[in-house]
């Protein structure tokens, strides 16, 4: 796929993007180290990772690369290439030089992260060892430039249902990412966010999720090259009406008219990570709601 010069510049300057997949009804979003080559986004992950399992079940995916005032949204089909599986070996051979060139570009571009993995090798779980890694390739069908925004420093906000250390590390993060489904495929946007008494409010920089539709918000803090230092949370649930954007305006020190349209996210579950330690939990209110509805 041919990209505009502006989109190519954004992809060329970034090394981490946000990968969104459809995990049943709710989307799942994770940061991923990537390279863009031969019309595809190239990533690696564990063969035991949730995104590997999800991509095999439902390959519809999106990838957002944030360039500040603009971002690039890439959508297409995810393909898992496992070097231990004959079918993947055959597909790689049929690609000719494409597969080898794509992975060579990935390795050269992300050399600092390979060094970071070497530094962390003693603490790597078995599932994340090099021999348990697979290639995740996103074959693009659509590429769009979307609106970003400057994100001023923000007051502390507490992500619900995460370990205390994760909550502390994410409290001052101002730039988050909202995800929802359009046309059966995930969509991602940079987003303002706030949490007040467990209620999550989201203001995407552009686009508008529908009330009642499933969605997610990712808040994360990544290290330049050390996987063990990365912290984040993916808050998943259903979008609900929001009264106003005053809470977001107050958190960011903005005038209310400067806040994009807001929507609440009714939280059902939260997946958080600190390095390679991953937990999934449901806020107390969500557990009680499911029991009442059941």
Q: pLDDT tens, 182-237?
A: 999 999 999 999 999 889 999 999 999 999 999 999 999 988 888 889 999 999 99
pLDDT average, residue stretch 45-71: 96
Residue 289 or residue 39, greater confidence: 39
Give the pLDDT band of residue 290 (cuts 50, 70, 90). very low
How many other β-carbons are positioned within 10 Å of the β-carbon of residue 12? 14
State the total domains in the chain.
1
pLDDT computed for residue 156 by the predictor: 97
In angstroms, the CA 8 to CA 193 distance is: 28
pLDDT computed for residue 62 by the predictor: 99
pLDDT computed for residue 278 by the predictor: 94
Q: Tokens 């994100």 sit at which residue?
A: 151
Residue 132 or residue 1, greater confidence: 132
Share of the chain above pLDDT 90, in %: 74
Answer for the pair 237, 199: CB distance below 8 angstroms, yes or no: no
User: Which of 92-101, 122-131, 149-158, 279-288 tops mean pLDDT?
Assistant: 149-158
Burial 181-215 (b: 16+ CB within 10 A, else e): beeebbbbbbbbbbbeeebbbbbbbebebeeeebb
The domain of 176 spans 5-293
**CATH classification at residue 31:** 2.30.110.10
Give the pLDDT band of residue 292 (cuts 50, 70, 90). very low
């Amino acid at each position: 796929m041919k990209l505009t010069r502006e989109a190519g510049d954004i992809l060329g300057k970034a090394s981490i993007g946000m990968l969104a997949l459809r995990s049943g009804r709710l989307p799942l979003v994770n940061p991923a180290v990537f390279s863009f080559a031969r019309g595809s986004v190239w990533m690696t992950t564990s063969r035991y990772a949730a995104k590997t399992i999800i991509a095999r079940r439902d390959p519809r995916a999106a990838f957002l690369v944030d360039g500040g005032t603009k971002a690039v949204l890439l959508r297409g089909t995810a393909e898992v290439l496992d070097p231990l599986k004959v079918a993947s070996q055959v597909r790689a051979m049929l690609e000719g030089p494409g597969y080898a060139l794509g992975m060579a570009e990935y390795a050269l571009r992300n050399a600092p992260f390979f060094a970071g993995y070497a530094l962390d090798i003693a603490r790597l779980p078995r599932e994340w060892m090099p021999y348990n890694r697979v290639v995740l390739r996103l074959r693009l069908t659509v590429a769009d430039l979307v609106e970003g925004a400057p994100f001023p420093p923000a007051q502390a906000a507490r992500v619900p249902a995460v370990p205390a250390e994760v909550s502390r590390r994410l409290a001052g993060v101002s730039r988050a990412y909202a995800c929802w489904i359009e046309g059966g495929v995930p969509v991602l946007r940079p987003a303002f966010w706030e949490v007040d008494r467990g209620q999550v409010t989201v203001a995407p920089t552009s686009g508008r999720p529908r009330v009642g539709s499933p969605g997610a918000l990712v808040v994360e803090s990544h290290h330049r090259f050390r996987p063990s230092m990365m912290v984040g949370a993916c808050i998943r649930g259903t979008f609900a009406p929001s009264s106003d954007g005053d809470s977001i305006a107050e958190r960011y020190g903005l005038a209310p008219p400067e806040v994009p349209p807001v929507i609440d996210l009714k939280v059902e579950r939260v997946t958080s990570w600190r390095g390679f330690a991953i937990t999934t939990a449901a806020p107390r209110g969500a557990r009680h709601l499911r029991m009442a509805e059941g």
